[in-house]
Structures are given as C-alpha cells and as structure tokens.
Chains A and B, each alone.
Chain A
C-alpha cells in the first residue's frame, strides 16, 4: 500500500491578467519509508507540489492521497520543514519544539516526553533551555526537524532544508538528518536544486520538466543501505547518475 498517491495532479495559478499552468498532470506513488527527491530546473514548481501534498493549497484538477486521507494541515499527516528553520526567537529551544503540540492542543505529558526524548537522542539535550540565537545554523535546522517529528507525522516534506547553510555544515547535517529520518522509519519527500544532495539521500529521484511541470523521468537508486550520504556522494555510481540527471535538466533549460 502506497503512503502517498498523486493522481493527474494539475495546478493553474490565477491572476487578473493571466492564468499560468504551474503543474500539469503529474502522477507518482511513494511507498512507506521511502526517501524520494524531486529535482528540476529552478522555478518549475517543486515547492508547489510539496504545498499540494501538505494540503496548504488545493489542486485545480487531480488529487493527492496521504495515508488514505485527503491531506489537511489540521491532521498530523505531513510534517513540513522549510528552507529557513523559522525558530521563534522569543521561545527557548524546548518551547520551540513544543510549538506544534501547543497549536494542536496536544501538550500532554506523554507527547512532551516523546519530544524531549527525540531531542536527547539527536544531541539537542544540552540546548533545551537556550534560545535560538545561541545555536549554530546546523543545530537550529536540527531543532526544526525535531519540532516537526514531535507531532509524529506520517510523511516528512523537506523544502530545500539545507540550502541556507554553508557547505561544510550542509554535508554534516545531510548525514545527520538522513540518520534521524531513517532511525525514526519515516517516509520523506525532499525538494532540492542540488542533484548531488538528492543522489546522496534518496531511494528514488523524480526529475521534473520546466514549467508547467510534468514528470520527465524517474530514477530508482540501489545504493548499499549501509552507506552514509557522504559516502554515497563520492561513489562512482553517484557520479554517473549525476551526469545523467544534469543532462536531463540541462535539456529542459535549453528548451524554448
């Protein structure tokens, strides 16, 4: 049973002057605990697809099903992680982690303990009483992930979560986040413009055409499960795949 089913998904943006087709007839399925990346030329509608899956915007035609339900932010189906950590500077780390629970009015002892346990497990224990401005960028993004996981979402939606970080932090955090997601047996969709990043983390990569986005190709990756994202990056298999996907996106860009 697939956890995410996207069927004939299309979206048109409306404005006074014009109607633009952003996404055109996209179909895919994602299995439980799969890690899927979506790449494509910039501005092709990658983030829009995530917003549709999260139920933040409604499709023009077609449908999205997550865990047999119609996605809505009211339910704990999807956890969304943004480019920026969006930690609230006036709350300490612990209170930031509890934000989702607070909004959903699920601030029970049991759920709080679960969130704290996650924080402890992934190295944030010593920072719980600190404020976001006292943490490094990588650490902050890790807190943002814990905040998302505290709600036990069925599916994680990662919208370029590493792009605001410096290169060194990015590679480290990539490994960390990958471990956390695999350790918690979560299904995840990653949107990124970084092909290497997609290759280093995913089981499957979906390449989109330029706007209006359609699926150009799907690559199934069969790396050794014991490899870390960092080790994957340096394998010859990754390099070969990189040039294939690079060429696909390049072809799209040169299309008129």
Chain B
C-alpha cells in the first residue's frame, strides 16, 4: 500500500483538505487578534469604559505585577491543587460507586431516589453546612468540588454501564463468564467512550466547585482574587483572574484529550 502512486484527483483532494485545515486555523487566530485589538482600542479611547471593561494591556500588566509579587503562582497553584484533588477523588469514587451499583441490582434500586434528589439539589446551598463542618479552608473547598462532580459521575457512568447491549451480556454468560469478567471484558470497554466524555465534563465541573468554594471561603486562590477584586472594585484584577482560569481550563481539557488519544491507541 505504501509508496503507491495516486491519481491527480487524490492530490487535489489532499490539497483541498490541507487548505481548509489552514483556513480554519487562520480564522481562529484572526478572531482572537481582532477581539483583543478591538478591546484594547475601544478601551484606550474610552469608547467603552476602561474602568468597567479593563483592557488586554492592563490585564498583561496586572499579570506581570502578580508574577513579581509571587502571587500569580501562589493563587494559581492553590486553585489548581483543589481542582485536581477534587476531580481525582470525585471521579475515582464516582466510578467505584457506579461499578457497585451496576453489580448489585438491589443497591441500584435502593439508591435511585437518593441519587435523583442529590443530583437536583443545588450544591452551593450546602455551602454554609460545609464551612461549619470543615472550617473555612481548602478542605471545605475540595469537599464542595467533590459534591458537585461525584453525583454526575455516578449517574453518567452507571447509565453507560447499564446500557450495555443485552446480547453482549448473553454472549458473556454463554461463555461462562463471571459477573466481574462480564464487567471488565465487555461492559467497561464498551463504556470507554462515555467515560472519557464524563472526564471532560468533570474538568469543567471541578473548576466550578473549587471557584465556588473559594468564593465562599475567600482566603486564597483564583476564586478569592475574583471576590477580592470585586470588593475593592479592581476590574483589572477580576479580568486577570478570569483570563488565568480560561488558560487553566484549556490546559486541563488538553490533558484529558491527550489521555483519550493514549487510551484509543492502547485499545487498538
């Protein structure tokens, strides 16, 4: 198959494919540049209020100041830590619970109404209780993060596990597979796609949890910077914290995407 000569049509096709790919990338970059440039200029000439909207140059300056004072990495690290710990615990325990509930029909039926209620409960309403229980520190924040992520993880994963094709399970049974074998050889690989999309959702939810927790507890972290900036009416700081959060979220998303790629390669 290699070193094969292709027709002209094939090379034209490849060329067209590359052109479109480049065009998408150029447009994406252009959009960002136009957005930043427009923001900067509009704010510089006070067409939009530089106090309310800040500007890219002021945000860059604020980042520089935060970097010099060491606060940039201090707050980023705290938020990232809480998010990662919350994400890991909630995802891990969530999968484990989903597995147990898949295994036992009895437990699944018993827990169903509880899960549904917990899922619809707005977790932030538990904020005061959590702070009283865990104190106003990172423990409370991580717990908030876990609460937000874990229920969705359990429901999504369990749903994926139970939707495994019945015929596939019959095949496993006819081969004499134990319930665990059916899970690990048939159900789990079958659900891998859903599991990865759950991970992607969880990244976003973990950030919601940690930022929300920080806003409640307000001691350190990017959520703290947001609240503090708001209180002293420093929009540059608020915008800066938001931009850093965007970057962090993008980085974590790429990490999951990389994990997805590795898993797919591993399976093939």
Contact = CB atoms under 8 A, between A and B. Distances in A.
Interface in A71-105: 72-75, 78-80, 82-84, 86, 88, 90, 99-100, 102-104
A188 to B, nearest CB: 15
A80 B172 CA distance: 10
B172 A103 contact: yes
B135 interface: no
A56 interface: yes
A88 B170 contact: no
Chain B interface helix/strand/loop/mixed: helix
Contacts of A80: 170-171, 174-175
Interface stretch (B15-23, B43-51, B181-189): B181-189
B174 A73 contact: yes
Interface string A103-130: 1100000000000000000000000000
A206 interface: no
A54 interface: yes
B191 to A, nearest CB: 11
Given A74-B176, A104-B175, A82 B170 contact: yes
Given A82-B167, A103-B181, A88 B174 contact: no
B264 to A, nearest CB: 9
Interface residues on B, range: 10 to 19
Chain A contact patch, size range: 20 to 34
Contacts of A73: 173-176
B175 A56 contact: no
Given A86-B171, A88-B186, A90-B192, 6 more contacts: A78-B174, A80-B174, A83-B167, A90-B267, A99-B175, A102-B185
Interface of A: 54, 56, 72-75, 78-80, 82-84, 86, 88, 90, 99-100, 102-104, 131, 151
27 contacts: A56-B170, A56-B173, A72-B176, A73-B173, A73-B175, A74-B176, A79-B174, A80-B175, A82-B167, A82-B170, A82-B171, A84-B167, A86-B167, A86-B168, A88-B186, A88-B189, A90-B189, A90-B267, A102-B185, A103-B175, A103-B176, A103-B177, A103-B181, A103-B185, A104-B176, A131-B268, A151-B175
